[in-house]
Amino acid sequence: MAAANQFHPIVPAKPEVEVSVARERQKSLLLRAWIFSGLFFMAVPGTLLGFSNLIAISSHHGFISAGLELIAVILFLRAALHHKMPKPAQGETPRRGMEPWMMSVLLGTAGLTAAVIFNFTECLLLALHNPQPSFPHALDQKAPIILVDS
């Protein structure tokens, strides 16, 4: 190590170099602050405004949203009805009964369908009979429990 210092002695930096290094560090810090503030103001206000707009839209157009959800579930069920079990190959015995995972998928689909129909029905009744665009307090407290239990 001593031999390496003989060929490249450490020379103190000139004042102009120190000033230049300090200026470059300040520019680097300013660039980092500019990038961070740009990302912050792009993500946070946009996300909050987008979320608040979605909440405002859903409160005014809950019936339309519920109707579209119901249509989507009906389309899914219609597409699922066209799927058939493959025929067993020659020499194989056909399967009897349903496997446990199939039962869980069917039960989950039935629960989703019931929840979407319930939501559509309540939104329709709300649109027809309630002057305020929000669920009554009692229903608002019980609906999540009904939907989770189904």
The predicted pLDDT at position 27 comes to: 92
Distance CA 56, CA 74 (A): 26
pTM score, whole prediction: 0.51
Number of domains the chain is built from: 2
- pLDDT at 73 > cutoff 80: yes
Average pLDDT over residues 68-91: 84
Residue 132, in any domain of the structure: yes
Q: d(Cα 46, Cα 42) in Å, to the nearest integer?
A: 6
Q: Is the pLDDT of residue 4 over 60?
A: no
Q: What token pair was written down for 123?
A: 């939104």
Percent of the chain with pLDDT over 90: 9
Note the pLDDT tens digit of each residue in 18-65.
Answer: 888 889 999 999 999 999 888 887 777 767 777 677 666 665 667 777
Residues 69 and 41 in one domain: no
Domain-located, residue 53 = yes
Average pLDDT over the chain reads 78
> For residue 122, what are the domain limits?
61-82+100-150
CA-wise closest residue to 109 among 97, 120, 98, 101: 101
Task: Mark whether 135 and 105 lie in a shared domain.
Answer: yes
Residue 3 lies in a domain: no
pLDDT at 67: 85
- CA 121 to CA 56: how far, in whole Å? 21
How much of the chain is helix, strand and coil, in % rounded to 5? Answer: 75, 0, 25
Provide the 10 A C-beta neighbour count for residue 66. 22
Tell me the C-alpha distance between 59 and 133, whole Å. Answer: 6
So what's the pLDDT on residue 25?
92
Q: Are residues 109 and 49 in the same domain?
A: no
Maximum average pLDDT range among 28-37, 78-87, 92-101, 141-150: 28-37
Token digits of residue 136: 């009554």
On whether residue 87 sits in a domain, the answer given is no
